[in-house]
Amino acid sequence: MSNNVLQLEGIYPPIPTPFNAKSRVATKALTENLRIWNRYELRGYVVLGSNGELVLLNDQERLHVLEVARAAIPPNKLMIAGTGCQSTLQTIDLTRQAAKIGADAVLVVSPSYYKGQMTSEVLIEYFHRVADASLIPVIIYNMPACTGIDLDARTVTAIAEHENILAIKDSGGNLAKMAEIHHLAPLSFQLLAGSASFLLPALLMGAVGGVLALANIAPNQCLSIRQHFINGELDQARDLQEKMLPVNTAVTRGWGVPALKAAMEMLGMYGGLPRPPLLPLSEDRKQDLRCILQEAELSPC
């Protein structure tokens, strides 16, 4: 168990896992994409999050992606590994392996297959058992859009009492709940916005940064929103937040991972195809996406 307090302030892209034409992990493309992202003052990366298509990878592929990413991420940037699985034991095993590979922290999503039995008591026990077994800090991942489970403030606060549970990435967008967590949780517990759609409001509610799909294709803009907030330039932060909303919607709740990968291709990076059963973006939607990117004045990274 880690007793170190890891400071998470900053912006993190949850990076996509690139695949080749045969739907195998494209190792060189992953390394090249990270080389491009490393040019920016990003605090680090989430590897094998929802945008990393974690649930579509087998165990060997997951470890391979973590190894390749760690080798390409410089020591001054954090690597947060997505290790949430359906069983507690599987999550613990992947968490331990991620630590051996060199992850600085793990991002653990709620198990959800037996959704009706995922009570507050069950989830508290789940996260605490993972944190007990982990040699590196644990970050709670609240992702109701995918899991169908939205952790309430009281449950998050109870989970946060564990000394090895560092933070929450909340993708639900409930700002009142984020404020309540900020008020009730230990002072050392950190909040991360889970979407650029509410980055500025989350910062106002006490968040220290964000894990943002948008940061894969608009890192400067995401970094600037946070910097404007730090500087007290709220009008500039709000204007930029509003300007990025259509892009963020397209690559998140709108068209998801296929759109994010298509946008990366349009901006000079390797996006490639999503892994089936996900389908690539249609040509009509690609044209719409291209117009959205142009409207937001995004240029190649």
The answer as to whether 179 is a domain residue is yes
Instruction: Tell which residue, 24, 13, 10, 88, has the closest CA to residue 46.
Output: 13
Four-residue CA torsion sign, 271, 277, 278, 282: positive
DSSP assignment of the chain equals ---------EEE-EEPPPB-TTS-B-HHHHHHHHHHHTTS---EEEESSGGGTGGGS-HHHHHHHHHHHHHHS-TTSEEEEE---SSHHHHHHHHHHHHHHT-SEEEEEPP-TTGGG--HHHHHHHHHHHHHH-SS-EEEEE-HHHHS----HHHHHHHTTSTTEEEEEE-S--HHHHHHHHHHS-TT-EEEES-GGGHHHHHHTT--EEE-GGGGT-HHHHHHHHHHHHTT-HHHHHHHHHHHHHHHHIIIIITHHHHHHHHHHHTTS---PPPTTS-PPPHHHHHHHHHHHHHTT----
The answer as to whether 289 is a domain residue is no
Position 1 scores a pLDDT of 56
Token look-up 């950190």 returns 190
- Residue 286 annotated in active site: no
Q: Residue 228: CB partners within 8 Å, gap ≥ 6?
A: 234, 236, 237, 240
The answer as to whether 256 is a domain residue is no
The pTM assigned to this predicted structure is 0.97
The catalytic position among 22, 28, 169, 243 is: 169
Position 215 scores a pLDDT of 98
The answer as to whether 104 is a domain residue is yes
Which CATH number characterizes residue 108's domain?
3.20.20.70
Instruction: Tell which residue, 122, 118, 90, has the closest CA to residue 106.
Output: 90
The answer as to whether 207 is a domain residue is yes
Position 299 scores a pLDDT of 78
| Residue 250 and residue 273 in contact, taking contact as beta carbons nearer than 8 Å | no
Query: 78: which strand partners?
Result: 44
Position 209 scores a pLDDT of 98
Q: Please state, as a whole number, how many other Cβ atoms lie within 10 Å of the Cβ of residue 95.
A: 25
Position 301 scores a pLDDT of 61
Domain count, the chain: 1
Q: Please state, as a whole number, how many other Cβ atoms lie within 10 Å of the Cβ of residue 39.
A: 10
Give CA–CA dist 49/84, Å, rounded. Answer: 9
| Residue 211 and residue 194 in contact, taking contact as beta carbons nearer than 8 Å | yes
The answer as to whether 121 is a domain residue is yes
The answer as to whether 50 is a domain residue is yes
Host domain of residue 226: 10-242
Q: Residue 140: CB partners within 8 Å, gap ≥ 6?
A: 108, 127, 151, 156, 159, 160, 165, 167, 168, 169
pLDDT in tens, the chain (301 residues): 555 589 999 999 999 999 999 999 999 999 999 999 999 999 999 999 999 999 999 999 999 999 999 999 999 999 999 999 999 999 999 999 999 999 999 999 999 999 999 999 999 999 999 999 999 999 999 999 999 999 999 999 999 999 999 999 999 999 999 999 999 999 999 999 999 999 999 999 999 999 999 999 999 999 999 999 999 999 999 999 999 999 999 999 999 999 999 999 999 999 999 999 999 999 999 999 999 999 999 976 6
Which two structure tokens, joined as six digits, stand for 104?
Answer: 């600085």
Give CA–CA dist 205/200, Å, rounded. Answer: 9
